[in-house]
């Protein structure tokens, strides 16, 4: 949830730290802070608000000097959004300075213990407690003090610590919150994701849970919190700079919507053999036997990833004829689920770091399920916990509102369903036909993107309305949920998504004159039924915006506005139908003057419960 960047080397680091922090601002942005060691003393500058506010404050104080430092963007958990609660935090005795991502669950007990020892606190955060604890245990060896403190801690952490008495040393540790260490020439940069590292070095390694790294400009040492040495695998970072830059677009969300055709082409590359009617998924090949024998699948995710999982549920049952259920990971993990033999749990996650999805997957594994991942971030925590999986390959997603990851997730679930279907009952011809259609998706999305100006005009008509409905059936019921989520998270318009048939069971009472109701009304098995639902809304004064299939000459007589998508088999239609909804949400947010990439109260990945 928070962004972490730290540096030790020979360069003056303020500018370098801030540049990295800006790349991580999507991870959390309610406050920001920086600290360096300047002439042997720690200096901290922090403020509520964005990195830009921090830059202003730094200018006021004349900037920070020093060749070692750390900075942080916060998404508040413990303690309100105030200057004292912003990171870095310091201790009151040993000259310790610390930044943290995660939650220290036993902070209250630790705080009482430290208060009894005479420490005084200046914030309401769990993080300050950890800084004090390290200070309390410090006896001339920062690495040892961090290890000892972390042995007392329960909860999740990605931390970086420095100390006035060891003025070129950073110590970092991880449990549950990602941290990467970039290895440069006489310098190291530690960050919560690779995008803050890649402009300095392409060599990096990820810390594992319960690992600690001590870095100085001359080298590093990794160990566990019990001081057992470990050898990390330094690898090439697979991030291109252009993937994390705006490249002429106004917002990352807009860029990522327009990137979808290219992103999906990447997802499909080498995985589709339409001639032979075959799907090639190297990531699950080792478990092919067990998967073919599987009796049931449980798809786990949160937010947008759950909506993709719900489409996966329909596809696995419809195409592969295997029992499937999609669930909120947060509910699954606590409801004492029954896992029968032959169950496969599929975690769907862009970041691969979502706390609830990770916990639910571990719960399913513990109870005997085989664990598969449908993940974007390579080497992320969830990816590493799975027995096998298929990466999305859509590139880094920076916009807080997930877009290209959603179509990537649906695309991978389609491949997975067809992979399974071919090994169960689907003929090569049937599979080949589906694959041929699947290959047309990128080009069909291009055609929808070309209607951007019209989609903006339609959005403009309704943008002042505060309540919207999104309705769909079958495969496009989850698409309706996704359309509503996109609109509410970035434009703050109240929007509800639901199965179109559910409307009559209560929500129809909401419909009043001019209320926008977005129907996904493409050609499919339930088209006529959707048309009846449209009539019901119109009869009560609602304004219908229909997402319909090109060539549907009837729909314009029933809907106030129509956005057309190319024809495609129903199972594949969510990947097209969602695109106009993403663009509507984007335009609504821009028209309302909101910060599209940093919507209020949200952060890109939810690494706490
Ligand atoms: O990284 P994940 O896919 O696991 O994230 C899950 C949700 O937190 C995420 O999809 C969230 O709902 C997005 N803000 C939606 O745009």
Write down all domains in the chain, each with its CATH number in brackets. Answer: 3-241 (3.60.20.10), 246-439 (3.40.50.10490), 442-597 (3.40.50.10490)
The mean of the pLDDT values for the chain is: 95
Q: Hey, what are 570's tokens?
A: 């129903």
Contact (CB, 8 A) for 605 and 101: no
Residue 450 has pLDDT above 80, yes or no: yes
Instruction: Determine the average pLDDT of the residues in 91-113.
Output: 95
| Higher local confidence (pLDDT), 25 or 340 | 340
The reported pLDDT for the residue numbered 25 is 84
Catalytic site positions: 2, 604
Q: Ligand 1 within 6 A of 47 CB?
A: no
Q: How far is the CA of 11 from the centre of ligand 1 (A)?
A: 37
Residue 419 has pLDDT above 90, yes or no: yes
Residues of the chain above pLDDT 70, percent: 100
Residue 243 has pLDDT above 90, yes or no: no
State the pLDDT confidence band at 604, using cuts at 50, 70 and 90.
confident
Of 105-119, 314-328, 461-475, 593-607, the least confident: 593-607
Ligand 1, atom nearest to 382 Cα = 4
pLDDT in tens, 368-392: 999 999 999 988 899 999 999 999 9
The reported pLDDT for the residue numbered 379 is 85
- Mutation to probe ligand 1, out of 256, 391, 402 (largest number of atoms < 8 A from CB): 402
The reported pLDDT for the residue numbered 356 is 95
Q: Ligand 1 within 6 A of 306 CB?
A: no
Ligand 1, atom nearest to 351 Cα = 1
Residues present in the chain in total: 609
Q: What are phi and psi of 309, to 5 degrees?
A: -60, -35
Instruction: Determine the average pLDDT of the residues in 254-263.
Output: 97
Reduced to 3 states (helix: H, G, I; strand: E, B; else coil), residue 323 is strand
Q: Ligand 1 within 6 A of 304 CB?
A: yes
Of 121-125, 143-147, 603-607, the least confident: 603-607
The reported pLDDT for the residue numbered 106 is 95
Looking up tokens 């999609």 gives: 326
Helix (H) or strand (E) holding 284: helix 282-285
Instruction: Determine the average pLDDT of the residues in 139-162.
Output: 97
Q: Ligand 1 within 6 A of 8 CB?
A: no
Instruction: Determine the average pLDDT of the residues in 580-587.
Output: 98
Q: Hey, what are 238's tokens?
A: 């697979």
Q: Ligand 1 within 6 A of 489 CB?
A: yes
- Mutation to probe ligand 1, out of 178, 303, 330, 596 (largest number of atoms < 8 A from CB): 303
Residue 217 has pLDDT above 80, yes or no: yes
Helix (H) or strand (E) holding 490: helix 477-491
Q: How far is the CA of 563 from the centre of ligand 1 (A)?
A: 26
Q: Ligand 1 within 6 A of 522 CB?
A: no
Residue 27 has pLDDT above 80, yes or no: no
Instruction: Determine the average pLDDT of the residues in 437-441.
Output: 98
pLDDT in tens, 470-512: 999 999 999 999 999 999 999 999 999 999 999 989 998 999 9
Q: Ligand 1 within 6 A of 159 CB?
A: no
Instruction: Determine the average pLDDT of the residues in 304-308.
Output: 98
Instruction: Determine the average pLDDT of the residues in 571-588.
Output: 98
Compute the distance between CA of residue 266 and CA of residue 412 in angstroms, rounded to an integer.
Answer: 11
Contact (CB, 8 A) for 106 and 133: no
The reported pLDDT for the residue numbered 375 is 97
Q: For the purposes of burial, counting CB atoms within 10 Å of the CB of 519, is it exposed (0-12), middle (13-18) or buried (19 or more)?
A: buried
The reported pLDDT for the residue numbered 244 is 85
Residue 601 has pLDDT above 90, yes or no: no
State the pLDDT confidence band at 607, using cuts at 50, 70 and 90.
confident
Q: Ligand 1 within 6 A of 496 CB?
A: no
Q: How far is the CA of 306 from the centre of ligand 1 (A)?
A: 8
Q: Ligand 1 within 6 A of 380 CB?
A: no
Query: Helix 452-462 and helix 574-591: axis angle, to 10°?
Result: 60
The reported pLDDT for the residue numbered 75 is 84
Helix (H) or strand (E) holding 297: strand 296-301
Q: How far is the CA of 415 from the centre of ligand 1 (A)?
A: 21
- Mutation to probe ligand 1, out of 177, 178, 251, 305 (largest number of atoms < 8 A from CB): 305
Residue nearest to atom 7 of ligand 1 (CA): 303
Q: How far is the CA of 552 from the centre of ligand 1 (A)?
A: 34
The reported pLDDT for the residue numbered 242 is 83
The reported pLDDT for the residue numbered 602 is 87
State the pLDDT confidence band at 241, using cuts at 50, 70 and 90.
confident
Q: How far is the CA of 588 from the centre of ligand 1 (A)?
A: 20
Residue 28 has pLDDT above 80, yes or no: no
Q: Ligand 1 within 6 A of 606 CB?
A: yes
Q: How far is the CA of 350 from the centre of ligand 1 (A)?
A: 7
Query: Helix 404-424 and helix 260-268: axis angle, to 10°?
Result: 30
Reduced to 3 states (helix: H, G, I; strand: E, B; else coil), residue 367 is coil
| Higher local confidence (pLDDT), 176 or 562 | 562
Q: Ligand 1 within 6 A of 330 CB?
A: no
Residue nearest to atom 14 of ligand 1 (CA): 401
Q: How far is the CA of 607 from the centre of ligand 1 (A)?
A: 11
pLDDT in tens, 47-86: 999 999 999 999 999 999 999 999 999 888 777 889 999 9
The reported pLDDT for the residue numbered 238 is 81
Instruction: Determine the average pLDDT of the residues in 197-226.
Output: 95
pLDDT in tens, 259-268: 999 999 999 9
Residue 609 has pLDDT above 80, yes or no: no
Q: Ligand 1 within 6 A of 305 CB?
A: yes
């Amino acid at each position: 949830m928070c962004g972490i960047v730290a540096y030790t080397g020979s360069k003056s680091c303020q500018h370098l730290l801030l540049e990295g922090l800006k790349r991580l601002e999507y991870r959390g942005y309610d406050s920001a802070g920086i600290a360096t060691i300047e002439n042997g003393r720690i200096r901290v500058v922090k403020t509520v608000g964005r990195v830009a506010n921090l830059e202003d404050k730094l200018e006021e104080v004349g900037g920070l000097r020093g060749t070692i430092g750390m900075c942080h963007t916060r998404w508040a958990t413990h303690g309100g959004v105030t200057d004292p609660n912003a990171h870095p935090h310091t201790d009151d005795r040993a000259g310790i300075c610390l930044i943290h991502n995660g939650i220290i669950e036993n902070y209250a007990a630790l705080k009482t213990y430290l208060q009894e020892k005479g420490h005084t606190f200046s914030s309401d955060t769990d993080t300050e407690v950890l800084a004090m604890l390290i200070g309390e245990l410090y006896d001339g060896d920062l690495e040892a003090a961090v290890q000892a403190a972390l042995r007392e801690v329960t909860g999740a952490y990605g931390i970086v610590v420095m100390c006035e008495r060891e003025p070129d040393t950073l110590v970092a540790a991880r449990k549950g919150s990602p941290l990467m260490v970039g290895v440069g020439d006489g310098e190291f940069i530690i960050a919560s994701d690779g995008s803050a590292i890649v402009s300095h070095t392409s060599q990096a390694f990820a810390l594992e849970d319960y690992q600690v790294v001590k870095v100085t400009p001359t080298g590093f040492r990794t160990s566990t919190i019990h001081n057992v040495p470990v050898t990390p695998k330094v690898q090439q970072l697979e991030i291109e700079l252009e993937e994390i830059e705006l490249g002429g677009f106004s917002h990352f969300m807009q860029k990522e919507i327009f990137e979808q055709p290219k992103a999906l082409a990447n997802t499909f590359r080498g995985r589709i053999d339409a001639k032979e009617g075959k799907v090639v998924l190297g990531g699950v090949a080792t478990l092919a036997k067990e998967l073919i024998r599987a009796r049931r699948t449980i798809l786990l995710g949160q937010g947008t990833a759950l909506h993709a999982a719900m489409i996966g549920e329909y596809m696995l049952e419809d195409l592969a004829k295997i029992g499937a259920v999609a669930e909120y990971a947060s509910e699954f993990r606590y409801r004492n689920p029954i896992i029968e033999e032959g169950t496969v749990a599929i975690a769907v996650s862009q970041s691969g770091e979502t706390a609830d999805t990770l916990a639910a997957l571990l719960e399913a594994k513990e109870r005997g399920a085989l664990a598969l991942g449908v993940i974007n971030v390579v080497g992320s925590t969830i990816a590493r916990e799975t027995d096998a999986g298929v990466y999305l390959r859509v590139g880094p997603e920076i916009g807080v509102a997930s877009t290209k990851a959603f179509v990537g997730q649906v695309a991978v679930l389609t491949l997975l369903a067809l992979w399974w279907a071919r090994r169960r009952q689907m003929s090569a011809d049937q599979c080949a036909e589906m694959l041929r259609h699947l290959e047309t998706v990128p080009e069909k999305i291009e055609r929808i993107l070309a209607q951007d100006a019209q989609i903006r005009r339609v959005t403009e008509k309704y943008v002042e309305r505060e309540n919207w409905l999104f309705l769909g059936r079958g495969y496009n019921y989850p698409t309706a949920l996704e359309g509503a989520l996109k609109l509410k998270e970035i434009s703050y318009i109240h929007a509800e998504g639901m199965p179109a048939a559910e409307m009559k069971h209560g929500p129809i009472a909401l419909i009043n004159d001019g209320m926008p109701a977005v129907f996904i009304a493409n050609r499919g098995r339930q088209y006529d039924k959707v048309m009846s639902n449209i009539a019901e809304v119109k009869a009560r004064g609602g304004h219908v915006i229909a997402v319909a299939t090109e060539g549907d000459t009837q729909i314009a007589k029933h809907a106030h506005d129509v956005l057309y998508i190319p024809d495609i088999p129903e199972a594949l239609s969510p990947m097209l139908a969602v695109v106009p909804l993403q663009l509507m949400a984007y335009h609504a947010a821009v028209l309302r003057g909101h910060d599209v990439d940093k919507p209020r109260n949200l952060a890109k990945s939810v690494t706490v419960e």
